[in-house]
Amino acid sequence: MDINEFAERIFLNLPYDPTDQQISLIAALARFCSPVSPGYSVFLLNGYAGTGKTSLTGALVRALREAEVPVVLLAPTGRAAKVFGRFAGFQASTIHRRIYRGTEGMMNDFSADVADNPLTGAVFIVDEASMIGNGSGDPMSRNLLEDLIHYVYSGEGCRMILLGDTAQLPPVGCRESPAMSVAILKGFGLRVTKAVMTKVVRQRRRSGILYNATKLRKNMLLTPLPEPELVIDRFPDVVSVSGEELEDEISASFTENGITETLVVTRSNRQATRFNLAIRANILYREEELSREELLLVAKNNYLWSARVKGLDFVANGDTAIVDAIYGTEEKYGFRFADVNLRLPDRDLSFDCKILLDTLVSDTASLEPERYQSLYMSALNDPDLFTPSTPVRTRMRILRSDPYVNALQVKYGYAVTCHKAQGGQWKNVFVDVGYVPAEAYESLEFYRWLYTAVTRATDRLALINPSGGMVAGD
């Protein structure tokens, strides 16, 4: 593949005239994707909000496919994978789904091995790379970055492009994103090419959402950090909402945009639960624990229930689902379950499954490891399932498809933490910035949280109870 010809292919697939910065970047990407690029190479692309990273990546994917170069699109979460696949015009998968063996039924990080990459000369493009962890935040998690690198470069002549935004939140437990660190990538023996996209494309400059995201990102570079300040009076797509107005505003958004395009982003699972319960009681007027038309958020990847549905490879952490039918509830092993029919609005698919009710209002992101272990051990030693002579290995194999052990973990989906929202986009996003401790304003962590939350909105951003100092007249 001629480098200049391939660069021209990328240009022709862009929906607009590229900036000077993008022209240089296209030349670098064309060189990286060519056979002359050395082995064990990785291209690290840090693209800030509004710089055209999405459009450029889509053009690159189309150019690679036209040149008949094998291309694989990956993202850390199911929702991020689906967003990535939609704008790239090509199916994307989660990293876990692609690189690990043994992802049917019950799977945890330690039960799966890294698969062998069967491709030759493929280009792997990983979106939302700033979300990829290295296991430092959870002693029960594997080093996902290390496993991803092992998988990609086990294929002959394969290379990888990591797309991320260092202004966003790093993985839980990390001060910085490992996958966006040149030093860490070089520590794996990789040759690193790095590029940063900073110039905002012309057609998006009038967006108040983008203006404020850019303002936050630039302020992150200042020492000392100034107090975060958002401009709302010059842009129709950014507003301030008081607590007294909130119910009416969310209700209006439900009516205008639908519940799947309206989201509240808050700072903790506990706050998300409070918002969810208030929305259900005061806006949706629901008294039952679970109702038809309920919006749920999948809290953990699940590979069991999708096996029965054509076209559904897995139910992903971060997917939204709507309850179409409730068949019944029950208690077992000290937990509560419901048999339901769920519809995935993003996929236009529905399926029957068993869900775990205990996670609906929990103050954790998913079922705590200790409680999951309790569920698993109760099923493992269930005399109604196994005889005393049944080998443990056989019991474990059978439990891989047990409906209770593999019940879908869900939470109410009207309000979520920023980490849960990361990688997704909604038309109307309400960001809870009220009652933020004064010391938080001085931290880079809060800046990244706010930047990430702001950039989840595509059409309208509403700030809930901002302090006087946070809102500027500009």
Question: Domain-by-domain residue ranges, the chain?
Answer: 3-203, 206-474
Quote the mean pLDDT of the chain. Answer: 89
- Work out the percent of the chain whose per-residue pLDDT is above 70: 94
Q: If you average pLDDT over residues 88-105, what whole number do you get?
A: 78
Give 277's contacts (C-beta < 8 A, 6+ positions apart): 361, 412
Please give the pLDDT value at position 159: 95
pLDDT greater than 90 at residue 272? yes
Q: Which residue has the higher pLDDT, 107 or 66?
A: 66
**Residues 332-359: pLDDT tens digits?**
999 999 999 999 887 778 999 999 999 9
C-beta separation of 203 from 55 below 8 A: no
Please give the pLDDT value at position 168: 94
Q: Which residue has the higher pLDDT, 254 or 50?
A: 254
Please give the pLDDT value at position 106: 43
Please give the pLDDT value at position 142: 73
Please give the pLDDT value at position 102: 56
**Residues 180-201: pLDDT tens digits?**
999 999 999 999 999 999 988 7
> CA 167 to CA 441: how far, in whole Å?
16
Please give the pLDDT value at position 103: 46
pLDDT greater than 80 at residue 206? no
C-beta separation of 403 from 433 below 8 A: no
Q: If you average pLDDT over residues 135-164, what whole number do you get?
A: 85
Count the Cβ atoms, other than its own, within 10 Å of residue 359. 24
Please give the pLDDT value at position 35: 84
Q: If you average pLDDT over residues 28-34, what whole number do you get?
A: 94
**Candidates 1.10.150.120, 3.40.50.300, 3.40.50.720, 1.10.760.10; CATH matching 3-203:** 3.40.50.300
- Work out the percent of the chain whose per-residue pLDDT is above 90: 65
Q: Which residue has the higher pLDDT, 129 or 175?
A: 129
pLDDT greater than 90 at residue 83? no
pLDDT greater than 70 at residue 108? no
Give 438's contacts (C-beta < 8 A, 6+ positions apart): none
Count the Cβ atoms, other than its own, within 10 Å of residue 334. 10
> CA 313 to CA 321: how far, in whole Å?
15
pLDDT greater than 90 at residue 372? yes
